[in-house]
Amino acid sequence: MIFPLSIVSLLGLVCLALLASPYPFLAPGAVVGLVGIAVLYRKPAWGLLGIAALVPFEGLFKGNALSGTKFVGASLALILMLQLAMHQIPSERLRSNIWRYLIWFMALYLLSLLNTDDMGRSLEHLRELSVGLILFVITLLIGRELNLDMFARLVTVSVSMTCVLAMFSSKYQDQGRAAGLLEDPNAFAMLIAFAVPMALLLVIRNPNWLQRLFWLGCSMLLLAGMTKTESRSGLVVLVLSLMIGLWHYRAHLPRIRPRHLGFAMLGMAIVIPLGIYAMPHGYVERIQSLSILKSGAKAKDESLGRRASYIVVGSQMIRENPLLGTGPGTFPLHYASSGYSKVFSANRKIGDLYREAHNTYLEIFSELGIPAGLLFVGMLALGLYNLMCARRAWMQRRNWEQADLMTHLSMSILSLTLFLMFLSAPNQKFVWIMLALTSVLRLKAEESPILEAKA
C-alpha cells in the first residue's frame, strides 16, 4: 500500500515551517507524527488497539486540547476516509444490522436536539456522543483485521496498571475509593468489570505456565481493584458475568476428578477468608446497605437515596415529554430545579446541584423520549444477540477456541450494558467499539466455510 506523496510533502512543509518558526523544538514531533501516520496507514487496526489501550489512561490528558486517544482517533478517521475514497477499503464493510436501529435513533436524537430545553448542553452532549459514533464506524471498517487476542491483552494490562496506581496512591482515589485515572470509582469499576472476562480468557487459553501465572496475577489485581472501588454495582455485575462464564464451561465438569475437587475446596477455604479479611470495611458496609434499598429516596444511605431521587425526577420527565424528551444532556437542569438536589447536596456547589442520572437508560428515556430509548436498548440487545449467533456458528463448525472467545466477549459487553444502569456513559468508547465489533464477528463467523472447521 503506497503512502500518498502529497501527504508526505505536506508534512515535510510543516516540519520546515516549524524549523523556521519560534518553536523549532516542535519539528521532531512532526517527524514522529509522520512516522505514526505512516504506520496507521499500513496497519489501521493497530490504531484501534492503541485507542483501546489508552482508554483507561484518559484521565492523564484531561483538559488538554490534544490527547493520545484524540490524536490516534482523528488520524485513523482521516486515513480511513482517504482509503475509502481511494477504494482501498471496500465500502461493504460498513454493512451492519445495528444500522437499522442506529439511524432511527440518531433521527430522533436530532429532533430532540431541535426541541431541547438548553441548546448549549445538548450540543455538548452531541459532541461527546459523536466520538462514540466515529469509533463505531472505524471498528466496522477495520474490525476484521483486529487481533482479538492482542485486544484482550492490551485491555487487561492497561486496566491492571491503573489498578496498581489506584490501590497504592491516594492521588488516584476519591475519598478512599479507587478511581484510577477517571476520577470516578464507578466508571473505574466499569472498566474492571469489562476487563476481567478477557483476563480470565488469557489465563485459560495460554499454554505457557509462566504467562498463565502472569495473567492470573493481572486477574487478581483486577479483582483487588474492584474491591478498592467499593462499587456495589460493580460487584453485582462482576458476579453475574462470572456466573455466565461458569455456565459456558459446564461441559468441562465431567473432567473434574475427586482429587481436583479436594484441591478446589482447599483453595476456596484459603482464598475466601483471606478475601473477606482483605476487603475494606467500608465496602462491607456499603454492600450491607443494599438491604435498605426499598426505603426509596428517604433511605438512610445517602447514595441509594440520591439514586432513588434520580428515578423520581426522570420518571416525571418521561411523563411530561414521552416522545422527544427534554433534549440531550438536560437531565441535570431538571434535577437541579427539584427539591432533591438541595436535600442531597452537602455544600450546594454547582456540581452537586446539577447531577446526571447515573443511569444511561433512564437518562436517554427522559432526555430523548421513549422511542429513542427503546431503539438504544434494542441496539445493545442486538449486539448481545450477534455474539450469541457468532458463538453458535463457531460451535457448529466445531471451532471451540473461537466459541470460547465469543463467550468471554459476551461477558465483557454484558458487563458494559448492565453497568449502564448505574452510570451515565452513553459515549463510553468501549460500548461503541464492542457494539460494532459484534456485527463484524457475527458476519465473520457465519461467512466461515464449514469445511474449515477444526476436528
Contact 195, 159 (CB under 8 A): yes
- pLDDT value for 2: 46
- pLDDT value for 208: 84
- pLDDT value for 63: 59
Query: Which amino acid, one-letter code, is at 176?
Result: G
Helices and strands counted in the chain (H then E): 20, 2
Share of the chain above pLDDT 70, in %: 75
In this prediction, residues 325-354 reach a mean pLDDT of: 76
Query: Which amino acid, one-letter code, is at 392?
Result: R
Read off the pLDDT of residues 360-388 as tens digits, 9 standing for 90 and up: 999 999 999 999 999 999 999 999 999 99
Which pLDDT band holds residue 270 (cuts at 50, 70, 90)?
low
Share of the chain above pLDDT 90, in %: 37
Read off the pLDDT of residues 194-249 as tens digits, 9 standing for 90 and up: 999 999 999 988 888 888 899 999 998 998 888 888 787 778 888 888 887 777 66
Read off the pLDDT of residues 130-172 as tens digits, 9 standing for 90 and up: 999 999 999 999 999 999 999 999 999 999 999 888 888 777 7
Backbone φ, ψ for residue 74 (5° rounding): -65, -45
- How far is 117 from 330, CA to CA, in rounded Å? 7
User: Which H or E element spans position 111?
Assistant: helix 99-114
In this prediction, residues 265-291 reach a mean pLDDT of: 55
Q: Is the pLDDT of residue 311 over 50?
A: yes
- How far is 116 from 425, CA to CA, in rounded Å? 20
- pLDDT value for 299: 47
Nine-digit cell string for 101: 436501529
Q: Between 305 and 54, whose confidence is greater?
A: 54
Q: Is the pLDDT of residue 293 over 50?
A: no
- How far is 151 from 154, CA to CA, in rounded Å? 5
Where do we find the cell 461493504?
Answer: 92
- pLDDT value for 297: 42
- pLDDT value for 72: 83
Nine-digit cell string for 14: 510543516
- pLDDT value for 19: 64
Nine-digit cell string for 143: 474490525
Q: Is the pLDDT of residue 65 over 80?
A: no
- How far is 417 from 304, CA to CA, in rounded Å? 20
Q: Is the pLDDT of residue 338 over 90?
A: no
Q: Which of 68, 72, 86, 74 is nearest to 39 (CA)?
A: 72
In this prediction, residues 290-315 reach a mean pLDDT of: 66
- pLDDT value for 263: 52
SS3 256: coil
- pLDDT value for 111: 95
Nine-digit cell string for 364: 436517554
Q: Is the pLDDT of residue 99 over 90?
A: yes
Q: Is the pLDDT of residue 298 over 50?
A: no
The length of the chain in residues reads 455
Q: Between 307 and 417, whose confidence is greater?
A: 417
Q: Is the pLDDT of residue 391 over 50?
A: yes
Query: Which amino acid, one-letter code, is at 148?
Result: L
Which range has highest mean pLDDT (226-240, 258-272, 344-358, 366-380)? Answer: 366-380
Q: Between 58 and 322, whose confidence is greater?
A: 322
